[in-house]
Amino acid sequence: MFDYAHQRALEVLGAPHTAVLVTNGPAGVQIGEFACALVGLHLYLLVPRTSDHLFNLEYESTVTLLIARCEVKGRAQIMLREAVDLECDLLREPAADWCAFVRVEIAQVQIRSEAGWGNRETIDL
């Protein structure tokens, strides 16, 4: 059973279809928007196999994601297609054949303030 923090994070994240991924590593800071799906507290992304994001992830797994009104921080892992959760809708995307699956284990969700700057709420998982 999920505790309050998990329930709140799932409520805030909703069902995102795209996320902006930010990685840093030998290829420098990389920012890109990719198709995504939330399964439990894991976010799956379809990242093209030629992307420098994958090169960065080989060296540094800490990532930041921007989703709607949230900033999400976590650890990413490049997954084999066979290891991706079967509930994940990304398996049916046309681009899935030429993309790598990246799974992000969510560690923190920051809800951005709707008026002004800063965060309204931070959820640590």
pLDDT at 59 (0 to 100): 96
pLDDT at 116 (0 to 100): 67
The token pair that represents 45 in the structure block: 């992304």
Tell me how far apart the alpha carbons of residues 81 and 77 are, in angstroms, rounded to a whole number. Answer: 12
pLDDT at 83 (0 to 100): 67
pLDDT at 80 (0 to 100): 78
Name all domains of the chain by residue range, CATH numbers in brackets. Answer: 4-124 (2.30.110.10)
pLDDT at 15 (0 to 100): 87
pLDDT at 1 (0 to 100): 43
Give the predicted TM-score (pTM) of the model. Answer: 0.87
Tell me how far apart the alpha carbons of residues 38 and 41 are, in angstroms, rounded to a whole number. Answer: 7
Tell me how far apart the alpha carbons of residues 77 and 101 are, in angstroms, rounded to a whole number. Answer: 8
Give the residue among 101, 15, 88 at the shortest CA–CA distance from 53. Answer: 101
Tell me how far apart the alpha carbons of residues 43 and 109 are, in angstroms, rounded to a whole number. Answer: 12
pLDDT at 113 (0 to 100): 75
> What does pLDDT average to in each consecutive run of 10 residues of the chain (125 residues)?
79 90 97 92 92 96 93 93 69 84 94 75 84
